[in-house]
């Protein structure tokens, strides 16, 4: 019965990027995961009736790049070659393992021919884009070496900053870690009217963390602890590079910030204590600029920041760093590891610099911050189809399994609430599921057998439907395994259209650590990824328009995603 997965796994280990890249032994957590089927089969031909405005070939392959002094680092890297369209579509990031920055206009018809030279299956997903299900990069569309996956879609999104990255089940985390990721910017006429800083004054900042061995090779998660918490590297990379100051002029800049890390959460703040001026989030511009003392940025989230160096004297140095915070890691881990996260020498929640700006040029032509940025409708509860029965997304954390809605990815078929009618507006509620587990006297035994949790879906319908205003029992009650707390923060990402967060409620007993992050939790604008803190209950409204088919939702802590903390909606 388990012959098939085992064969897949063995082949994966033999040929995986990790193997090729010379890790002495396969990470132990690999054996506990569902490996992607080594057979691809996701290849498809172009549609002869589709006339693209823009077309490029995207290739993923192994390369070596210079990141540290000394030997080059072996990575996996996206490269691209433009076939049709203006050359602004692709901007290579020299010396970086990141894929080229892609720049598109709303309304463009796009064709991408994706192939790879990796020995394990992969597939590319357009994180943040509203595209048909068949174009979304579903794990089942993974292709093997030699196959080509053709994507064809129209750019429907408003202006925004998105991500392209691999999405094969069980290997997303390792492939992203090895380097496969890139940024994708969409422009639209509403944004163009604002005259926001552009060209040299628009700077993408992709934040990632990595660990290197003595030969400058990437080191990845090696134990259960790192798998459970998510992998944190001990060096911060910005756009695939380490350190170094960015030289700026004394004027306003637009920083397009992406958290491209596997699991690291940042609390972004300026070294001089000034506010972070946010003009946009995952799904594009806000209505008006918003000022925050700091902003939390979890894996998969993006931020559009107005950075004004106007009036700064030559030589001024300003640093964007991560400020100290608590509460995103399980207390169990904190007490066991003395506050250290996994093996990282740079614990999540500690203070460290990320990127430094040095004013080296005087300018007097700075644009001013617009008071109004964008107009869009605010979704209201009286517009949703299911006001009294929110679709639950129950976060289930245990040392043995990280789950959403009681089932690991790929098991049990769609639960009733996972089937959503097309062109509907839905209320969703994300919450931690400890209370339900407690009430049902769930034993350690049950935790070891994910299939033994069949009752959970049923239970959740009750919680989602009746208990939604209840307030935070779960947060305070997250006890398991002899009194240890097991509750951590999860960035929950929903494929398909962007949503709006309508409320956040924190449970009793979590207020103290919550206080260190709450003023920077992003709830404004259109989002596709939302950071849910321990004990927190987040409600959101999401449209499921235009496209039928299967759309994933998952934790964007990529180790969690690969562990099965991923489910699907069937839009019908």
The residues of the shown chain that bind ligand C2O, judged by CB under 6 A, are 125, 127, 163, 165, 167, 300, 493, 495, 552, 554, 556
Nearer to ligand C2O, 17 or 558 (CB): 558
Contacted by 557, from Cu ion, ligand C2O, none: CB < 5 to 8 Å by type: Cu ion
| Contacting range for Cu ion; rule: CB under 5 A; set: 4-12, 217-225, 438-446, 556-564 | 556-564
Which is nearer to ligand C2O, 9 or 554 (by Cβ)? 554
Write the interaction track for Cu ion spanning residues 123-142; mark x where CB under 5 A is met and - where it is not.
----x---------------
Write down the least CB distance from residue 337 to Cu ion, Å: 18
Instruction: Give the shortest CB-398-to-Cu ion separation in angstroms.
Output: 12
3-state secondary structure 186-236: EECHHHHCCCCCCHHHEEEEEEEEEEECCCCCEECCCCHHHHHHCCCCCEE
Instruction: Confirm or reject binding of residue 341 to Cu ion (CB under 5 A).
Output: no
**Which CB sits closer to Cu ion, 307 or 453?**
453
Residue 567: exposure state from Cβ atoms within 10 A (0-12, 13-18, ≥19): buried
The residue (of 125 and 158) whose beta carbon lies closer to ligand C2O is: 125
Does residue 398 interact with Cu ion by CB under 5 A?
Answer: no
What is the maximum span of the chain, computed from C-alpha positions, in angstroms?
71
End-to-end CA gap in the chain:
32
Buried b (16+ CB within 10 A) or exposed e, 513-544: bbebbbebbbeebbbbbbbbbbbbbbbbbbbb
**Residue 555 makes contact with Cu ion by CB under 5 A:** yes
Other CB atoms within 10 Å distance of the CB of residue 370: 16
**Nearest Cα residue to 354 out of 449, 441, 232, 246:** 246
Q: Which is nearer to Cu ion, 277 or 297 (CB)?
A: 297
Residue from the set 158, 254, 560, 567 that interacts with Cu ion by CB under 5 A? 560
Determine phi and psi for 51, rounding to 5 degrees. -105, 100
- Residue at shortest CB range from ligand C2O: 127
Minimal distance in Å, beta carbon 528 to ligand C2O? 8
With CB cut-offs between 5 and 8 Å by kind, which of Cu ion, ligand C2O, none does residue 165 bind? ligand C2O
Q: Which is nearer to ligand C2O, 181 or 460 (CB)?
A: 181
Q: Residue 173 or 305: which CB sits closer to Cu ion?
A: 173
- 58 with 78: CB under 8 angstroms? yes
Q: How far apart are CA 287 and CA 302, in angstroms?
A: 16
Query: Which of ligand C2O, Cu ion, none interacts with 542 (beta carbon under 5 to 8 A by kind)?
Result: none
State the Cα–Cα distance between residues 294 and 9, nearest whole angstrom. Answer: 43
Task: Identify the residue among 490, 504, 537, 542 touching Cu ion (CB under 5 A).
Answer: 490
How far apart are alpha carbons 452 and 535 in whole angstroms?
25
Chain residues in the site for Cu ion (CB under 5 A): 127, 490, 495, 555, 557, 560
């Amino acid at each position: 019965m388990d012959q098939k997965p085992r064969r897949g796994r063995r082949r994966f280990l033999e040929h995986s990027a990790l193997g090729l890249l010379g890790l002495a032994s396969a990470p132990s957590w690999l054996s506990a995961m569902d490996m992607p089927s080594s057979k691809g089969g996701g290849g498809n031909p172009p549609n002869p009736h589709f006339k693209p405005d823009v077309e490029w070939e995207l290739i993923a392959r192994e390369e070596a790049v210079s990141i540290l002094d000394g030997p080059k680092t072996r990575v996996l890297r996206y490269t691209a070659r433009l076939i049709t369209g203006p050359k602004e579509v692709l901007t290579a990031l020299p010396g970086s393992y990141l894929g080229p920055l892609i720049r598109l206009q709303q309304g463009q018809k796009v064709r991408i021919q994706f192939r790879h030279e990796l020995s394990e299956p992969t597939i590319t997903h357009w994180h943040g884009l509203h595209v048909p299900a068949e174009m979304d990069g579903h794990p089942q569309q993974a292709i093997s070496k030699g196959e080509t996956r053709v994507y064809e879609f129209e750019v429907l999104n408003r202006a925004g900053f998105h991500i392209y990255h691999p999405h094969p089940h069980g290997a997303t985390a390792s492939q992203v870690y090895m380097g496969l990721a890139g940024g994708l910017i969409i422009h639209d006429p509403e944004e163009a009217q604002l005259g926001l800083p552009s060209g040299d004054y628009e700077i993408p900042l992709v934040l990632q963390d990595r660990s290197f061995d003595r030969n400058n090779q990437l080191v990845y998660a090696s134990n259960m602890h790192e798998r459970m918490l998510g992998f944190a590297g001990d060096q911060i990379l910005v756009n695939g590079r380490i350190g170094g100051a960015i030289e700026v002029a004394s004027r306003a800049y637009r920083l397009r910030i992406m958290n491209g890390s596997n699991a690291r959460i940042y609390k972004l703040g300026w070294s001089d204590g000034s506010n972070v001026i946010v003009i946009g989030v995952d799904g594009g511009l806000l209505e008006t600029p918003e000022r925050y003392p700091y902003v939390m940025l979890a894996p998969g989230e993006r931020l559009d920041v107005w950075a004004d160096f106007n009036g700064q004297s030559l030589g001024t140095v300003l640093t964007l760093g991560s400020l100290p915070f608590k509460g995103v890691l399980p207390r169990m881990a904190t007490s066991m590891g003395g506050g250290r996260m996994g093996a990282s020498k740079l614990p999540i929640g500690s203070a460290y610099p990320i990127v430094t700006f040095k004013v080296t040029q005087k300018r007097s032509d700075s644009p001013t911050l617009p008071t109004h940025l964008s107009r869009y409708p605010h979704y209201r509860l009286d517009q949703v189809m299911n006001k009294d029965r929110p679709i639950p997304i129950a976060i289930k954390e245990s040392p043995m399994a990280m789950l959403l809605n009681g089932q690991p990815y790929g098991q049990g078929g769609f639960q009733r609430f996972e089937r959503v009618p097309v062109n509907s507006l839905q209320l969703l509620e994300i919450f931690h599921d400890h209370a339900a587990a407690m009430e049902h006297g769930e034993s350690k035994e049950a935790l070891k057998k994910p299939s033994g949790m069949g009752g959970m879906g049923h239970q959740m319908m009750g919680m989602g439907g009746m208990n939604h205003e209840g307030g935070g029992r779960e947060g305070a009650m997250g006890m398991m395994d002899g009194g240890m707390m097991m509750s951590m923060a999860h960035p929950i990402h929903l494929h398909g259209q962007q949503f709006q967060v309508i409320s956040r409620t924190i449970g009793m007993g979590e207020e103290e650590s919550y206080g260190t992050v709450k003023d920077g939790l992003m709830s404004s604008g259109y989002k596709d990824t939302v950071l849910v803190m321990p004990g927190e209950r987040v409600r959101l409204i999401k449209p499921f328009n235009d496209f039928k088919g299967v759309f994933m939702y998952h934790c964007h802590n990529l180790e969690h995603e690969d562990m099965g903390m991923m489910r699907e909606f069937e839009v019908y």
